């Protein structure tokens, strides 16, 4: 199958700092591919290389079979970009933002106007058509940026932290729109550090840390391969710890909680309640968050 | 490294989409934009022309007010392009992130900067066109030769736009743009043959003004046009402007590219 993006041994170096360190990945047509990782993992830098905004240091990268270093004009005509920073043009109204942006793609005025109206409808901003950008809420601005990224009817949509700083309602609305775009056959690449977002949207994803890719797979595969199916949590008390050690069950202590990863959470919970005299026991399905924390560590990323 | 700064940039018609963006904004805020070019010549002509001119009388056989009228146009050409491509461009680049948004489209960073420079020049041309009727009304410029000021304002404006963009490309912050404004623009305003003939300066200063103060050449040509006194020396001024503009146009684009593409 033809790939949309193909990266091999991709490196980006800033002085002595290696922001992206020899990564390999490929994105297939029609899928939602995610880059998950803590701040400073190299996700945004990777996006910038794909969207021809930043030249790579070494390795190979192709987008639609073209080299971003030499064919940026052609590649940029085929992609839509939702940047992390809100960079709408504050001098213009909502609809003008879309029309002025269309002009950079060489889209004729009549076509641009017609598309802009449809896109405003798509992101539910028709009511705010003639409002100045400054008057829009954070969620509305993000939706308008999404609409702006679609003016050229891109074959590939790149979203860098699409829901950063949004409230749950605004976030769900963006997710709904992205799912709709996926169902229409669009290829979408996104970065996020929201695990729920990655779990809900991505067909496949990679987890990045310190410029390298740690793992790759579908959210379900990653959870199964790296954590297991279930998690049992109990309070962190000497009795519980001793009891678990005694039974030979491996556990992990995080703060005031003891976590046991297991394929049989029900059994472990019973044992904890019956034999270890645990006061609080919680069983839950393992999530991507468990994979993420396991792979990237619990230390604070700044 | 140095060769990179003088590499010929690859440009296309896309630069005009950036120019058009700025023109659209200008038209949206036209009320604010049209006032200064009308008011400015009034203030200068009354204060300097009638006020100071009453003491000075004539410079050579030219009335003082006619002597400074072209200088007012030249200063306006300088200011409108220079401030557009320093503070204006810096705000669009740094605070508005407008350039980042545009370079995610098929428009390249080189074309964004070229569009900004062309817009700076256009702004000088618009201002000159608006000032000219006032000067004609005062009867201090020759008609119809003075109409040549309009196309010339584009070239002069482009010169100052390119100078400005070089500063913008290397400035660490918006406050640091005050340095070229005070250390470069203000001396030019005073020592470029604007309000008194450059020939009264000591020879060393005269040479300095001709060599490195771009406004000297712009004033010289503006004055030749409004007084209809065309001299071969103006060709030298024109050549100076053309060469410096070309070199700085290329340099400004490459410096900005170096700043923005990492």
Q: Does ipTM top 0.85? A: yes
- Of A119-128, A225-234, B211-220, where does mean pLDDT reach its minimum? A225-234
Give the span between the Cα atoms of A179 and A197, in whole angstroms.
11
Give the span between the Cα atoms of B161 and B125, in whole angstroms.
12
Q: Is B30 exposed, middle or buried (0-12, 13-18, 19+ CB in 10 A)?
A: exposed
Nearest to A76 among B28, B101, B104 (CB): B104
CA–CA distance from A240 to each of A143, A230, A243, B230 (Å)?
Answer: 49, 19, 5, 99
Of B26, B106, B107, which to mutate for an interface test with A (greatest number of A Cβ within 10 Å)? Answer: B106
- Per the structure, the complete domain to which residue B130 belongs is given by 2-6+13-260
With a CB cutoff of 8 Å and minimum separation 6, the contacts of B167 are: B86, B177, B180
Q: Given this model, what pLDDT does residue A270 score?
A: 86
**pLDDT by residue (tens digit) across A249-277?**
888 888 888 888 888 888 888 888 888 88
Cβ-defined contact of B105 to A89 (cutoff 8 Å): no
Q: Which residues of chain B have a CB within 8 Å of the CB of A89? A: 21, 96, 98, 101
- Residue A279 CB: number of other CB atoms within 10 A? 12
**pLDDT by residue (tens digit) across A152-202?**
999 999 999 999 888 888 899 999 999 999 999 899 999 998 888 998 999
Nearest to A51 among B28, B102, B104 (CB): B104
DSSP state of A93: B
Query: Is B96 near chain A, with CB under 8 Å?
Result: yes
CA distance, residue B196 to nearest chain A CA (Å):
41
Nearest to A104 among B28, B105, B262 (CB): B105
Residue-level pLDDT, tens digit, chain B, 262 residues: 788 899 999 999 999 999 999 999 999 988 888 888 888 888 989 998 889 999 999 999 999 999 999 999 999 999 999 999 999 999 999 999 999 999 999 999 999 999 999 999 999 999 999 999 999 999 999 999 999 999 999 999 999 999 999 999 999 999 999 999 999 999 999 999 999 999 999 999 999 999 999 999 999 999 999 999 999 999 999 999 999 999 999 999 999 999 999 8
**pLDDT by residue (tens digit) across A38-75?**
888 999 999 999 999 999 999 999 999 999 999 999 99
Query: Is B97 near chain A, with CB under 8 Å?
Result: yes
CA distance, residue B121 to nearest chain A CA (Å):
21
Q: Given this model, what pLDDT does residue A273 score?
A: 86
Q: Which residues of chain B have a CB within 8 Å of the CB of A104? A: 14, 17-18, 102, 105-107
Give the span between the Cα atoms of B158 and B117, in whole angstroms.
6
CA distance, residue B228 to nearest chain A CA (Å):
42
Q: In the A/B pair of chains, how many CB contacts fall below 8 A?
A: 60
- Domains within chain A, CATH numbers bracketed: 5-217 (3.40.50.300), 229-285 (3.30.70.260)
Domain count, chain B: 1
- Using CA coordinates, name the residue in chain A closest to B97: A87
Question: Could you tell me where the DSSP H helices lie in chain A?
Answer: 43-50, 72-78, 94-104, 109-122, 138-149, 168-183, 195-201, 219-226, 238-247, 265-274, 288-296
Nearest to B104 among A55, A81, A89 (CB): A81
């Amino acid at each position: 199958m033809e790939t949309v993006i193909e990266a091999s041994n991709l490196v980006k170096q800033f002085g002595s700092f290696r922001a992206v360190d020899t990564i390999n990945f490929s994105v297939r047509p029609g899928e939602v591919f995610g880059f998950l990782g803590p701040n400073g993992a190299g996700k945004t830098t990777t996006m910038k290389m794909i969207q021809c905004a930043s030249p790579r240091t070494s390795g190979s990268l192709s987008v639609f079979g073209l080299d971003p270093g030499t064919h940026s004009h052609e590649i940029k005509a085929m992609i839509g970009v939702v940047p992390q920073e809100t960079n709408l043009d504050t001098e213009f109204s909502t609809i003008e933002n879309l029309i002025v942006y269309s002009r950079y793609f060489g889209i004729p005025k009549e076509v641009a106007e017609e598309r802009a109206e449809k896109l405003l409808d798509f992101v539910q901003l028709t009511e705010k058509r003639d409002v100045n950008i400054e008057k829009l809420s954070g969620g509305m601005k993000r939706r308008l940026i999404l609409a702006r990224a679609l003016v050229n009817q891109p074959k590939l949509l790149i979203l860098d932290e699409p829901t950063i700083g949004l409230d749950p309602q605004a976030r769900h609305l963006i997710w709904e729109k992205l799912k709709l775009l996926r169902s229409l056959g669009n290829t979408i690449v996104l970065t996020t550090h929201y695990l729920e977002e990655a779990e809900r949207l991505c067909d496949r994803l990679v987890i990045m840390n310190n410029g390298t890719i740690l793992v790759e797979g579908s959210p379900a595969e990653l959870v199964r391969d790296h954590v297991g199916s279930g998690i049992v949590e109990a309070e962190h008390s000497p009795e519980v710890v001793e009891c678990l050690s005694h039974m030979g069950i491996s556990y992990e202590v995080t703060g005031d909680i003891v976590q046991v990863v297991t394929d049989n959470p029900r059994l472990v919970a019973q044992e904890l309640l019956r034999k270890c005299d645990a006061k609080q026991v919680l069983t839950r399905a393992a999530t991507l968050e468990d994979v993420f924390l396991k792979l990237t560590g619990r230390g604070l990323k700044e | 490294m140095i060769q990179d700064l003088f590499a010929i940039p690859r440009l296309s018609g896309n630069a005009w989409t950036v120019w058009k963006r700025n023109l659209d904004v200008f038209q949206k805020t036209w009320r604010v934009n049209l006032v200064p070019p009308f008011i400015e010549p009034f203030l200068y002509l009354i204060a300097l022309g009638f006020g100071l001119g009453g003491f000075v009388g004539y410079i050579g056989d030219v009335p003082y007010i006619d002597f400074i009228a072209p200088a007012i146009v030249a200063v306006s050409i300088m200011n409108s392009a220079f401030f557009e491509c320093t503070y204006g461009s810096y705000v669009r680049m740094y605070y508005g992130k407008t350039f980042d948004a545009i370079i995610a489209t098929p428009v390249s960073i080189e074309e964004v900067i070229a569009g900004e420079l062309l817009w700076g020049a256009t702004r000088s041309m618009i201002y000159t066109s608006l000032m000219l009727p006032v000067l004609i009304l005062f009867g201090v410029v020759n008609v119809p030769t003075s109409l040549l000021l309009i196309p010339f304002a584009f070239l002069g404006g482009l010169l100052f736009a390119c100078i400005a963009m070089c500063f913008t490309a290397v400035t660490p912050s918006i406050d640091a743009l005050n340095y070229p404004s005070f250390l470069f623009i203000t001396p030019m305003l005073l020592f470029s043959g604007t309000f008194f003939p450059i020939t009264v300066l000591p020879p060393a200063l005269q040479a300095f003004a001709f060599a490195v103060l771009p406004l000297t050449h712009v004033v010289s040509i503006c004055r030749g046009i409004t007084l209809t006194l065309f001299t071969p020396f103006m060709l030298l001024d024109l050549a100076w402007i053309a060469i410096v503009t070309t070199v700085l146009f290329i340099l400004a684009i490459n410096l900005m590219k170096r700043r923005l593409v990492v």
